[in-house]
């Protein structure tokens, strides 16, 4: 019976912020731009301003970006300046096109982060790309090897690349920047 009772006062959600970096150019030394992703209980979502994803160019700008955000993370604590995750878009595209395995998890992580970003701005991925990304993410959740899965499911690497590039474009088009 106790399991059905609602706790009063309600339990406060544990909230954390993570600095996420993105690299587009495989020749770049590290991240080229950043955002913050907040964790609330079981969910994660990025900071936004005016319904647009909020990015910044240096870790030192994280505090200004957090202050500029308007989707409820402004009081989540100080903005972290240490990188939690590097989403290497160039490396993920290389893995999708050339490799049999995602040994470092760059493709899997990128799909997961794109999912969080696109959900927050309520942008629906076209059905054909959703199916590809979901299938590949599910496979990568089970095994780092995915080339045989693509061949068996008749998913062309080009279709996977198209889906990833659609996400890159959608994120870019629905973003805002803090200087």
pLDDT (tens digit per residue) in 10-67: 555 677 999 999 999 989 999 999 999 998 877 899 999 999 999 999 999 999 999 9
Report yes or no on 3 lying in a domain: no
pLDDT for res 8: 63
Range of the domain at 122: 11-178
Q: Per residue in 102-156, pLDDT tens?
A: 999 999 999 999 999 999 999 999 999 999 999 999 999 999 999 999 999 889 9
- Nearest alpha carbon to residue 153 among 164, 168, 138: 138
Assigned domain for 4 exists: no
For the whole model, what pTM was predicted? 0.89
The answer to the question of residue 69 being in a domain is yes
Asked if residue 35 belongs to a domain, the reply is yes
**CA-to-CA dists, residue 28 to 23, 108, 130, 173, angstroms:** 7, 21, 29, 22
> What pLDDT score does 81 carry?
86
Residue 5, domain member (yes or no): no
Residue 6 counted as domain residue: no
DSSP result, 133-171: HHHHHHHHHH-SB-HHHHHHTT--HHHHHHHHHHHHHHH
- Asked if the structure places residue 107 within a domain, the reply is yes
Task: Give pLDDT tens digits for 54-109.
Answer: 999 999 999 999 999 998 888 888 999 899 999 999 999 999 999 999 999 999 99
The DSSP symbol for 41 reads T
Among 130, 164, 131, which residue's Cα sits nearest to residue 22? Answer: 164
Question: In total, how many domains does the chain have?
Answer: 1
CA distance 89 to 92: 5
CA pair distance 30, 88, nearest whole angstrom: 9
């Amino acid at each position: 019976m106790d399991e059905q009772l609602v706790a009063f006062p309600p339990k406060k959600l544990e909230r954390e912020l993570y600095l996420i970096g993105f690299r587009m150019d495989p020749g770049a030394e590290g991240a080229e731009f950043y955002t913050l992703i907040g964790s609330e209980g079981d969910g994660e979502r990025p900071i936004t301003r005016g319904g647009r994803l909020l990015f910044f160019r240096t870790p030192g700008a994280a505090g200004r970006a957090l202050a500029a955000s308007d989707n409820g993370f402004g009081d989540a604590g100080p903005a972290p300046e240490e990188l939690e995750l590097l989403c290497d878009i160039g490396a993920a595209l290389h893995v999708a096109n050339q490799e049999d395995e995602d040994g470092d998890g760059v493709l899997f992580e990128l799909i997961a982060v794109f999912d969080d970003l696109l959900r927050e701005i309520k942008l629906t991925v076209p059905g054909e790309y959703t199916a590809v990304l979901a299938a590949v993410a599910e496979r990568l959740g089970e095994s780092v090897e995915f080339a045989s899965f693509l061949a068996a499911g008749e998913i062309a690497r080009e279709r996977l690349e198209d889906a990833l590039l659609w996400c890159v474009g959608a994120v870019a088009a629905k973003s805002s920047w803090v200087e």
